[in-house]
Structure formats: structure tokens, C-alpha cells
Amino acid sequence: MARIVMKFGGTSVADLDRIHNVARHVKREVDAGHEVAVVVSAMSGKTNELVGWVQNMPKVAGSNAPFYDAREYDAIVASGEQVTSGLLAIALQSMGINARSWQGWQIPIRTDNAHGAARILDIEGAEIIRRMGEGQVAVVAGFQGLGPDNRLATLGRGGSDTSAVAIAAAVKADRCDIYTDVDGVYTTDPRIEPKARRLKKIAFEEMLEMASLGAKVLQVRSVELAMVHKVRTFVRSSFEDPDAPGMGDLLNPPGTLICDEEEIVEQEVVTGIAYAKDEAQISLRRLSDRPGVSAAIFGPLAEAHINVDMIVQNISEDGSKTDMTFTVPSGDVDKALRVLGDNKDKIGYDVIQSEAGLVKVSVIGIGMRSHAGVAASAFRALADKGINIKAITTSEIKISILIDGPYAELAVRTLHSAYGLDKS
Ligand code: ASP
Ligand code: MG
């Protein structure tokens, strides 16, 4: 017997037939004798619709209130998950399974006060565990919790993944299965490279990089939580026949296991290629090279909530002037230029240059820690295709390369084959 948390995303619960199908997945695990808790997203498109309602509320003429109350936003957008948790509980009950729905506040899932992007602080798991022991299935509304102000709080878009992993950690589940509309995590985006392969296993650190660098399978925060609490997390498809052979396999179900690197015996040097579109590059030329310049640049950008990514500072030739280049999302470039313009005197630079529409392609793999020449192969492969590199950053387990937007797909395919990821 095992304890399993099963999470179903929006496309998996998009209509009543799919909810019925989800119930069959749950029934399979219950019938096998496992203790099960389920976490659900809203029906696909529902959260967007709810957010739209909040944003499109007509304003009183002459009102200068630019923002809506984030607590009411949460009260509204959290409702999508309330509906699916109730519907799935009914579907399960109709199959003879003892099930009930739980809203975040009923458990409670306690969060901080950051409405719209709250973090889970604590989950009271005891009651769920007790009821699982009696054979009851908890169907938990994802994406929501209870803030310290006693109000509903939501966890940011894609937050049901995080709900699921947090609940798995709280009830000490053996496994957290994230059911979605793809059948696992791939070496790269299969829409760009049809030869992309599904990974059997990927280490937490690698998945964290993949998710942060553009692979949209899981909310980044859920991977962080899984890593911290060592929750073995499976990404698998809800669209397969729930009763197909192997679907109930306890150790090797179909999908990708995100796990501790120790569990990965045959570690490849490179595990995957990720990419993030719509990056912009900003360069400050002839900055004075003195203590405090970086703080003078990045402090005001942080205050303006601009997410800065790759940062490259040149070593100055004469010890007096240097150049600084960094990237921001394309959507933030105007705001960033304004902030830097406002602070020109404090920072002390000559000119600003900027370019939008760039793409960051990243090579990821924990095997890089112990292998030389990984970066050199990437540069050679890109050079052979005539792709110019605009900036490079590296960490222990990744190399990120900034290139012109139109080369994105060619670069992804080139790197994918340079590391032999297209061969099994
Ligand atoms: N329904 C929420 C969203 O669309 C949360 C989730 O699905 O994970 O962002
Ligand atoms: Mg999702």
C-alpha cells in the first residue's frame, strides 16, 4: 500500500466527461488499495475568464483608482477550483468511492499575505491523513489557501501544482502524480524538435532550471518545494486509458519522474534544452568603475519589480570605465529604460543601448559538474550554423546563451543534436 497525491490540471478536468475520466484514474489507485488525496485545477479557460471579469469591471467615470482589491481578486479567481473539487467528489461518489471536497481554508492551507501570488506557509495534514486511513478520498481545490487576514489567497497562475506538492509533503505521500495534457517531460519542446525524447527521470535541480527557463510543464515554485521536501513527483498524462496496462504500476508508471539525483543511475551529461522567448538586452556603456555602481543600477530596477536575468559586466581596460549588459523580459524594457534614464546621474553612464525580441537558449544537465568541454561544444555547434551569440551566462548545471529571436528554433535543434539528445 502506498500514499499517493494525484493532481489534475485544467485540460484534464475541462468538461464533465473528462472529470469522469479523472475519477476512473483515481478509482484505479483506490482499488489497488492505496491511500489517495486529489488536487484539482479549474476547468481549462475558467481562471482566465474569472481574471477577465475582474479586470474588465467598468470604472466609475473620473475614478482614478487604477487597481482592484487583490483580496477580492482572490475571492473571485479561487472559485474555479471550488467547482471542480465538488464535481470530482460527486463523480467519485457515483463510482462508490467515499470522497469529499476540501477548500483551502477548510484544511487549512495557510499562506502568507501576498494576495494573488501567495506562498504556502503551513498545511494541517493530520485530518486528511486520518480520513485517508478510513478510506476517504480528499478532493482538494488547488491554487488556494487561507491568508493570515482570514481571507482566501491564491498562489499565482499555475499554482495548483504547488498545492499538490505541498499537500504531498504535508501528508508524507510516497508519490505526487501531476496529471496533465502531455505524457512527461521531454529533452526539449517536441513542437520545435520532433526528435525530442521523453525523459524517464530528471533531477530536481534540472527540472527547476527547465521550469525557470521556459519549459511550462510545472509551476517553478512546485519544483522548489518538491526539491526541498524530496517529494518524488511524476509528470504523466490523464488522457491515457485509466485501465491500460502499466498505468497502476507503483514504481514505474508511464511518465517522467522528478527525483533526487542519487536515484538517477545513468546520468547523461546534458539532460535537456530549454528556451525562453521575448527577452530584451540592455547595455550601459562607459559606466564609471567604482563600488556601488551595480547597486545603483539594479536597486531601482528591483524596486520597479523588473525581473533582471543575465548580468554581464566587463572588466574595464583602464580601471575607470566599464560596460554592463543584462536582460529583462521584452515587456519590461520600456519601463526599465525609463527607470535607468531617471537615475542617470546617480549611476553615471554614457549611453544606453537596448534590443528586444531576443531568445535565451539553455543547455541543462547536472552531469556538467563533472565534465569539461560542455560549453565549448555548444559554442562550436552554434558557430557551425552561423548563429551569433550575444551574451552567455553559466551556472554549475546550465549554460544560457542569448541569441537573435529568428534563430531560436534552429539553435534548439542544433544544441539538441549536438549533445546526442535525439538518440536514445
Ligand atoms: N487555475 C489556476 C490557473 O489557471 C491554477 C492552476 O491551474 O494551476 O492558473
Ligand atoms: Mg498548470
Please name each of the domains of the chain with its CATH number: 3-263 (3.40.1160.10), 272-418 (3.30.2130.10)
Q: How far apart are CA 28 and CA 242, in angstroms?
A: 7
| Spatial CA neighbour of 327 closest among 354, 288, 367 | 354
b/e burial code for range 29-53 (CB count within 10 A of at least 16 → b): bbeeebbbbbbbbbbbebbeebbee
% of the chain exceeding 70 in pLDDT: 98
Residue 217 has pLDDT above 90, yes or no: no
Ligand 2 centroid–CA 335 distance in Å is: 29
Tell me which residue has cell 484539482.
Answer: 40
Pocket test for ligand 1, best of 13, 143, 144 (most atoms within 8 A of CB): 143
217 is in an annotated binding site: yes
67 is in an annotated binding site: no
Closest ligand 1 atom to residue 48 Cα is 4
* pLDDT value for 2: 97
Ligand 1 centroid–CA 26 distance in Å is: 20
191 is in an annotated binding site: yes
% of the chain exceeding 90 in pLDDT: 88
Q: How far apart are CA 19 and CA 91, in angstroms?
A: 7
Residues with CB under 6 A from ligand 1: 9-10, 41-42, 47, 80, 142-143, 157-161
Residue 65 has pLDDT above 70, yes or no: no
Contact (CB, 8 A) for 77 and 46 = no
Residue nearest to atom 6 of ligand 1 (CA): 158
State pLDDT tens for residues 287-346: 988 899 999 999 999 999 899 999 998 887 888 899 999 999 999 999 999 999 999 999
Report pTM. 0.90
Q: Higher model confidence: residue 314 or residue 413?
A: 413
Q: Higher model confidence: residue 62 or residue 87?
A: 87
Residue 398 has pLDDT above 90, yes or no: yes
Closest ligand 1 atom to residue 81 Cα is 1
Cell numbers given for 381:
555547434
Residue 62 has pLDDT above 80, yes or no: no
State pLDDT tens for residues 142-190: 999 999 999 999 999 999 999 999 999 999 999 999 999 999 999 999 9
Pocket test for ligand 1, best of 160, 179, 225, 238 (most atoms within 8 A of CB): 160
* pLDDT value for 29: 98
Ligand 1 centroid–CA 119 distance in Å is: 15
17 is in an annotated binding site: no
* pLDDT value for 266: 77
* pLDDT value for 58: 85
Q: What is the 3-state secondary structure (H, E, C) of the chain?
A: CCEEEEEECHHHHCCHHHHHHHHHHHHHHHHCCCEEEEEECCCCCHHHHHHHHHHCCCCCCCCCCCCCCHHHHHHHHCHHHHHHHHHHHHHHHHCCCCEEEECHHHCCEEECCCCCCCCEEEECCHHHHHHHHCCCEEEEECCEEECCCCCEEECCCCCHHHHHHHHHHHCCCCEEEEEECCCCCECCCCCCCCCCCECCEEEHHHHHHHHHCCCCCCCHHHHHHHHHHCCCEEEEECCCCCCCCCCCCCCCCCCEEEECHHHCCCCCCCCEEEEEEEEEEEEEEEEECCCCHHHHHHHHHHHCCCCCCCEEECCCCCCCEEEEEEEEEHHHHHHHHHHHHHCHHHHCCCEEEEEEEEEEEEEECHHHHHCCCHHHHHHHHHHHCCCCCCEEEEECCEEEEEEEHHHHHHHHHHHHHHCCCCCC
Span of 47-51, 314-318, 374-378, 379-383 with lowest mean pLDDT: 314-318
186 is in an annotated binding site: yes
Among all ligands shown, which has an atom nearest to the Cα of 14?
A: 1
Pocket test for ligand 1, best of 11, 41, 154, 180 (most atoms within 8 A of CB): 41
68 is in an annotated binding site: no
Q: What interhelical angle do 374-384 and 408-418 show, nearest 10?
A: 130
For residue 424, what pLDDT band results from cuts at 50, 70 and 90?
low
Ligand 2 centroid–CA 369 distance in Å is: 31
* pLDDT value for 66: 58
Residue nearest to atom 9 of ligand 1 (CA): 157
Ligand 2 centroid–CA 304 distance in Å is: 27
* pLDDT value for 44: 97
Contact (CB, 8 A) for 363 and 417 = no
